[in-house]
A and B are shown apart, each in its own frame.
Chain A
Amino acid sequence: MIDFATHPDRYRHWTLRVDGPVAELILDVDEEGGLKPGYALKLNSYDLGVDIELYDAVQRLRFEHPEVGAVLVTSAMDRVFCAGANIAMLGQSSHVEKVNFCKFTNETRFGVEDASEYSGQRYISVIDGTAAGGGYELALATDYIMLVDDGSSAVSLPEVPLLAVLPGTGGLTRVVDKRRVRRDRADFFCTVTEGVRGKRALDWKLVDELVPRSKLRETATARAQEFAAGRPADAKGIALEPLKREFGEAELRYDTLAVTLDHENGAAEFTIRGPEGEVPVDVAAIHDAGVGFWPLALARDLDDAILHLRANEAELGTWVLRTEGDGETVAAYDALLETHAEDWLVHEITLFLKRTFKRLDVSSRSMIALIEPGSCFTGTLLELALAADRSYMLDGAFEESNQPPATVRMTSMNFGPLPMGNGLTRLETRLLDDSAALDALRDEIGEELEADQAEELGLVTFIPDDIDWEDEVRLAVEERRSFSPDSLTGMEASLRFAGPETMETKVFGRLTAWQNWIFQRPNAVGEEGALQLFGSGKQAAFDRKRV
């Protein structure tokens, strides 16, 4: 089992140092510390295990170290920053593993950018040596790139000439979209194995600053101090204590949710529980609650469950999303998040929820939301239904039940704080450019909406009644299972992201899709493919036909 939970005490590849407003993340990959046997992580190359630690560190910096305003990403290795994803690891990975790996590393890099942009924790790469492929892509995800100007330190994206694959962790997109490297120069850059160094790297905007080696430490520290300004110096972080979870054969149990693993139907059934008990009254109470504060607990549990299912349960192709609990209390929590949005912790929690729902958006699983009596698809939790490919809402109540009919409710959380990768809210994406319909939705904020209203407003897909419910729901899941998982993945990914392109949608849509295609092609992974032969000394033989 691949486990995404870790702790700095257990890191094998990174060291996290915090010194007042400046933190340092030092990459020092343990060659023998690969997740699986069969490859050595040489030259600071990484596998999923290395990236899980990075993700953990980025998260901890946000929650445990709010005083930190700048994070230096450095290497402990002489003359090597990072050599990117380990090629031998890629070579022995299944297609599913490769795709999962790339998705997670991409999400982690967007998480770094999210911290730079929204949390005021700005990341700075300090490259002393070579940053190749994924190594440079890691740097690209940071806010500022410093490169030693020693005549040999270089940044490079050698995937095309060396491996016949792509710099698939955002490299191609970030070079032109984020760093505004001219496309013709980028074209050259991405075909030259040893990359670009020194003045040309700076002139072409591949890096932000050149530094002599003797001044590196000094300059990096100075830059970090500049960047770090503006963080709440007196803020006290909250500890991200280990998740309480139990993984059984047929069920995953977390504090705020449970997932039933239905291998027969290829489905994972999520039940997300709404908050219970007293709602904290003020910011101090939120801080006191720490990881027990329901929205944060939910984000952490849901995040871990998504990652676990993606990495370990590839055959559970349909995720059924249910909620249970009191919508009123969910709304109260949403109001709390809105009222105290200026507080660093509340702000972080909202950002974390945003990123977690984004994970759902890019998960290659069919998602079906079931809205039943007793559920609490309100505000933040309504996002689950809006993220789903389809939703079914029971019209009325079940016979012989004394529960009131199912309702859904919008809160301000549905109108801005939790955007998708395309920069729009899920509602905006759903009702693309239909401002009248969106206005109509806004008028209903806070209202408990029954099925017919929800349908009319465009919030749910179907509203079967008690008589049809069971069959409709069963058929939806069974039918889903009969389709090709590949075509479903492609179809869903295409339909989910209506509206504008952003760097994020390009990376997950365009770049990743091309990469995944190339990962299947003989020119890369065939017996004579470049990725397969890398390291063997044998030369790849290409099928020269352009497709």
Chain B
Amino acid sequence: MSIDYNETIPNNVNLADDRRLLRALERWQPAYLKWWEDMGPVESDDLSVYLRTAISVEKDGWANYGHVRMPDYRWGIFLAPPEENRQIGFGVHKGEAAWQSVPGEYRSELRRLIVTQGDTEPASVEQQRRLGKTCPSLYDLRNLFQVNVEEGRHLWAMVYLLHAYFGRDGREEADMMLERHAGDIDRPRILQAFNEQTDDWLSFFMFTYFQDRDGKYQLASLAESGFDPLSRTCRFMLTEEAHHMFVGETGIMRIVQRTCEVMKEHDTDDVRKFGVIDLPTIQKWMNFHYSICLDLFGQERSTNAANYFSMGLKGRYQEGKIDDDHQLDGAVYNVPAFEDGKIVSLEVPAITASNERLREDYTKDSQRGVNRFNKVIRDHGIDFELTLPHEAFNRGIGAFVGVHATPEGKIIDEADWEKMKGEWLPTDADREFVLSLMVPVVQPGKMAGWIAAPRRGIHGQPLDYEYVKFH
């Protein structure tokens, strides 16, 4: 499964043999590059960035590092290797051979799934486009750009599916991916979390920790799809997503680490004056990002999710490892609901609850990293614990829309919410403070004062390596 880099569009799908598709993608490519120029990282065209580029989809295929100008990055189409005789693992078609082409009856559902997923990829690049101007180090700047080019490639992956399998409608959707923009009032991105601002690095690390983790769970459930090309492309994307979450987790960890060091050094909680981000502020960012990410999973009870499952289009997380009939005949599942002013648990048909189930898997996974942050705090002998807020907190989709709850999950009235929300969510003053710390640091090996150095460099390079070269 090596990648053909001789083509204008690197790929491992024998694009050369499909002239029609190749032509279609070659038409889209300039629009993509134009988008990157207009909406990608600002003033970055001349930077030479130490990026990894996949040369094959095998495990060791990543070991290709070198300095690249980002517009020259070889975006392409990579699918995980086909599994022989792969069968559909769930839903009414369970046990049938996986589809190599789109089943007519599910065409629009599949298209919608791919469009919704695809729309998030360029969105995050847009959200993060200004961060390069305030990087805390060259190491972080490089990581930002690595994440950005890979999100760009994820867009390519989805666009390939649209072009290859959905005809004219698919091509139109692919064009639309470049026309909607994060936070654009006239053409916003489809999902609200992808219209929020990511204009400071704490937000960036929270984003890569929480939003990209949502991405992981969405991709993992699409990797179960009976539509084999979707499954294969998502499996490969997951390998890239892992790095993004690594960036997020280590980023938050390093900020926490630095804050704790300063707290100990000066024996105080009041550390803003020393130019680091106090733990309660980190908690506020966490409250915000986690709660908007819970919205990304959709309604607790969802007809669409039920249809996607029974149609065999989108499975549960690690479907194969779940011990049941994979059809959910008569099975039930408990989902949270809000009734008569109280949070209750409702037993509903499990097939309608797959969003909720995926959200629960996500929450467990999110908690693991938070535990590691707390260990850093504990190791400094500091009595503070970062927590994930309650599922009813600050929600815009699902059972808790319009409900006001504390991060602990206590229901409060609107007046109390208005009074207290500044304690739980970033205020303008908080944002201003965090932004005030965002001063670029671009000497090799140097770190901004509010973040600790990483444990090691990239691909065996030293920390003072020139990860990004300014020409």
Contacts and interface: CB of A to CB of B under 8 A. Distances in A.
Question: Do A and B originate from a single complex?
Answer: yes
Interface of A: 149-152, 161, 192-194, 212-215, 534-539
Nearest to B180: A151
Nearest to A200: B172
A12 to B, nearest CB: 16
B351 A213 contact: no
A535 B352 CA distance: 7
A212 B306 contact: no
A534 B185 contact: no
Interface string B71-109: 000000000000000000000100000000000000011
Nearest to A216: B186
Given A212-B185, A537-B305, A537-B349, 20 more contacts: A150-B187, A150-B188, A152-B180, A161-B108, A212-B186, A212-B187, A213-B187, A213-B188, A214-B185, A214-B186, A534-B303, A536-B306, A536-B351, A536-B352, A537-B309, A537-B328, A538-B92, A538-B310, A538-B351, A539-B92
A193 B311 contact: no
Given A151-B176, A537-B309, A537-B310, A194 B112 contact: yes
Interface string B375-391: 00000000000000000
Nearest to B328: A537
A193 B108 contact: yes
Given A151-B180, A192-B108, A193-B109, A536 B188 contact: no
B190 interface: yes
Contacts of B117: none
Contacts of B303: 534-535, 537
Contacts of B38: none
B7 interface: no
Contacts of B190: 152
A151 B108 contact: no
Size bin of chain B's contact surface = 20 to 34
B108 A537 contact: no
| 9 A-B pairs with the lowest CB-CB distances in the bound complex, closest first | A537-B306, A537-B351, A212-B186, A535-B303, A151-B180, A214-B185, A193-B108, A537-B310, A213-B186
B300 to A, nearest CB: 12
Given A194-B112, A537-B309, A151 B349 contact: no
B351 A194 contact: no
Contacts of A193: 108-109, 112
The secondary structure that dominates the B interface is helix
B306 A535 contact: yes
B179 interface: yes
A501 to B, nearest CB: 33
A498 to B, nearest CB: 43
A38 B305 CA distance: 21
Interface in B160-193: 176, 179-180, 185-188, 190
Contacts of A213: 185-188
Nearest to A534: B303
A538 B307 CA distance: 7
A212 B180 CA distance: 12
Contacts of A150: 180, 186-188
Q: Which of B190, B303, B309 has the most CB of A within 10 A?
A: B303
A76 to B, nearest CB: 13
Given A152-B190, A213-B185, A194 B108 contact: yes
B456 to A, nearest CB: 43
Contacts of A536: 306, 349, 351-352
Nearest to A213: B186
Contacts of B112: 193-194
A149 B310 CA distance: 33
Given A149-B186, A534-B303, A539 B311 contact: yes
Contacts of B185: 212-214
B403 to A, nearest CB: 13
Contacts of B351: 536-538
A129 B187 CA distance: 12
Interface string B177-214: 00110000111101000000000000000000000000
B194 to A, nearest CB: 12
29 contacts: A150-B180, A150-B186, A150-B187, A151-B176, A151-B187, A152-B190, A161-B108, A193-B108, A194-B111, A194-B112, A212-B185, A212-B186, A213-B185, A214-B185, A534-B303, A535-B306, A536-B306, A536-B349, A536-B351, A536-B352, A537-B306, A537-B307, A537-B310, A537-B349, A538-B306, A538-B310, A538-B351, A539-B310, A539-B311
A87 B67 CA distance: 57
A151 B191 CA distance: 12
Contacts of B310: 537-539
Interface in B340-378: 349, 351-352
A539 B179 CA distance: 35
A3 B92 CA distance: 44
Q: Which of A149, A152, A192 has the most CB of B within 10 A?
A: A152
Nearest to B349: A536
A537 B307 CA distance: 4
Contacts of A194: 108, 111-112
Contacts of B108: 161, 192-194
A80 B176 CA distance: 20
Contacts of A149: 186-187
Contacts of A534: 303
B337 to A, nearest CB: 11
A374 B190 CA distance: 69
Contacts of B309: 537
Contact of B179 (A151, A535, A538): A151
Interface in B135-179: 176, 179
B177 to A, nearest CB: 9
A193 B352 CA distance: 19
Contacts of A214: 185-186
Nearest to B329: A538
B385 to A, nearest CB: 35
A537 B176 CA distance: 29
B395 to A, nearest CB: 14
Interface string B288-328: 00000000000000010111011100000000000000001
Contacts of B179: 151
Nearest to A193: B108
A533 to B, nearest CB: 9
A539 B328 CA distance: 13
A77 B306 CA distance: 24
Contacts of A538: 92, 306, 310, 351
B122 to A, nearest CB: 12
A86 to B, nearest CB: 12
A537 B309 CA distance: 7
Contacts of A539: 92, 307, 310-311
B398 to A, nearest CB: 11
B273 to A, nearest CB: 41
A152 to B, nearest CB: 6
A194 B166 CA distance: 14
Nearest to B353: A537
A194 B108 CA distance: 7
Contacts of B352: 535-537
A347 B185 CA distance: 44
Q: Which of A149, A192, A538 has the most CB of B within 10 A?
A: A538
Contacts of B311: 539
